[in-house]
Structure 1
Amino acid sequence: MSAAAAEASRSTRTPRPRADALRNRERIVSAAREMFVEHGPQVPLDEIARRAGVGNATLYRHFPERSDLVREVVVSVMSRTTEQAGSAAASEADPFAALRRFVHAAADERIGALCPMLSGAFDADHPDLHAGRGELEAAVQGLVERAQQAGRMRSDVAVGDLMVALSQLTRPLPGTACPNMDRFVHRHLQLFVDGLEAPARSELPGSAATLGDLRSEP
């Protein structure tokens, strides 16, 4: 390729965001995640900008619509939770201990607070959401399968059961702020996780919930 052609090729590429722009975006998403948990997804964007330490114009430059920011927070939490699943698998020799560690780590990521946001007015079919959900589901599926193959987790449950319980037990009660539930969440999750361990102490009614069941239309 000639020098002129190479220069022309470089000029048509999408410019990479500056480091300070990336840092601002990360601060905005982090602040939004905290405030969505504390106050819900309708918290004023000006308050999010103030907590992030950026100007309103900076926030709107990165996220022109509230739905853009909500989607980014959801993707961020899913990504962080997927990383927690990988970390748990790598850190624990006992596959059931890895599952237990992941469940508590996911609670600390406030994954249950996503549920009200997922019903919000944004594009639920956005490629980033699909990709993030697929990676998270695959990571959790791997934890469950390893624990069951090792005979450490009861065989009559599926990953859907785990995801339902995790989302429900980490979601604040109506009219209750999420931080006020912290003292109960890990206690109740531990009770749930104890019930997953093999050998099973009872026969469960119904059938195991799969990921497909969670996605099916009502």
Structure 2
Amino acid sequence: MEAVPSDCAHDAPGRAARTRPRADAQRNRERIVRTARDMFTAFGPEVSFDEIARGAGVGNATLYRHFPDRFSLVHEVVLSVLDRTCELAIRAAAEESDPFDAVRRFVHGAADERTGALCPMIQETFDREHPELVVRRTRLEAEVTALIERAQSAGRMRRDVGAGDLMVAIGQLTRPLPGTSRESNEPFVHRHLQLFLDGAEAPARSELPGRPATLEDLRHH
């Protein structure tokens, strides 16, 4: 049997040793982002790094190593939510045979991502034209628009509803009313979204005023 060269014999364990820290670091990063998302949506973007680190089960040094300042953490949370929400649209389209059921599944899934609570964060602390945000936003817009167009082409969704209407409903109905807490709003989110979806299903029962809202409309208001 051919002997393994001495440099190769030592290289495999070295690679494994280097892979483990990278894997651990990635898991830590994902836990931090997930915890920050939950805390930001519950309490706002000013939650202390101490609380986020404690919730993620990591030390402060680990958190700062990944995210040296608040902007970098908010940035990553926003991108993560956009990615996850886009994947919801893709999976709904692929797995639901009824195109309106795909719209319904996406809307409820996006609500669970707390997209509405992130809107103020994007407006107040985030560069809305940041290249990474533009890429994610464009991808999400394309997938949501495709969901709606399929449902409308199949006669399952009224044609006077646009992607902007859908995202406004998700944003508004997942955000607690002034003077109320997220916990008090939680039991009603999916109920109210279902009421909205019933109104979006074809055949239409009324004529909507104005025109369908686009996602471009939302960016300019």
TM-score by length of 1: 0.88
Q: For 2:123, give the aligned amino acid.
A: S
Gaps of 5+ in 1: 1-14
Return the offset for 1:147.
0.2
- In structure 2, the residue matched to 1:117 is 121
CA RMSD, 1 decimal: 1.6
CA distance in 2, matches of 1:82, 1:212: 17
SS of the counterpart of 2:158? coil
Q: For 2:157, give the aligned amino acid.
A: M
- In structure 2, the residue matched to 1:172 is 176
- In structure 2, the residue matched to 1:133 is 137
CA pair 193-125 structure 1, distance change in 2 beyond 3 A: same
- In structure 2, the residue matched to 1:12 is none
> Structure 1 stretches (4+) deviating beyond 6 angstroms?
none
- In structure 1, the residue matched to 2:65 is 61
- In structure 2, the residue matched to 1:184 is 188
Return the offset for 1:157.
1.5
- In structure 1, the residue matched to 2:80 is 76
- Select which of 117, 140, 151 maps to 1:147: 151
Return the offset for 1:131.
1.3
* Aligned: 1:24 with 2:44: no
Conservation of the 8 A alpha-carbon contact between 1:68 and 1:122: no
Conservation of the 8 A alpha-carbon contact between 1:159 and 1:210: yes
Bigger mean CA deviation after superposition, 185-194 or 51-60:
51-60
Return the offset for 1:177.
2.5
Conservation of the 8 A alpha-carbon contact between 1:39 and 1:177: no
SS of the counterpart of 1:172? coil
Return the offset for 1:179.
3.1
- Select which of 77, 94, 97 maps to 1:93: 97
Return the offset for 1:194.
0.3
CA distance in 2, matches of 1:124, 1:76: 15
- In structure 2, the residue matched to 1:41 is 45
Return the offset for 1:132.
1.3
Conservation of the 8 A alpha-carbon contact between 1:113 and 1:178: no
Q: What count of residue pairs does the alignment treat as equivalent?
A: 203
CA distance in 2, matches of 1:113, 1:23: 25
CA distance in 2, matches of 1:210, 1:119: 18
Q: For 1:79, give the aligned amino acid.
A: D
SS of the counterpart of 2:26? helix
Q: For 2:105, give the aligned amino acid.
A: R
Gaps of 5+ in 2: 1-17
Per-residue Cα deviation, 1:11-69 (whole angstroms, up to 9, x for no partner): xxxx9981111111111101101111221111111100011111111111111110111
- Select which of 190, 197, 200 maps to 2:201: 197
SS of the counterpart of 2:68? coil
CA distance in 1, matches of 2:185, 2:58: 30
- In structure 1, the residue matched to 2:6 is none
- Identity level (%): 67
Per-residue Cα deviation, 1:84-125 (whole angstroms, up to 9, x for no partner): 111111121010011011111111111111112112223322
- In structure 2, the residue matched to 1:206 is 210
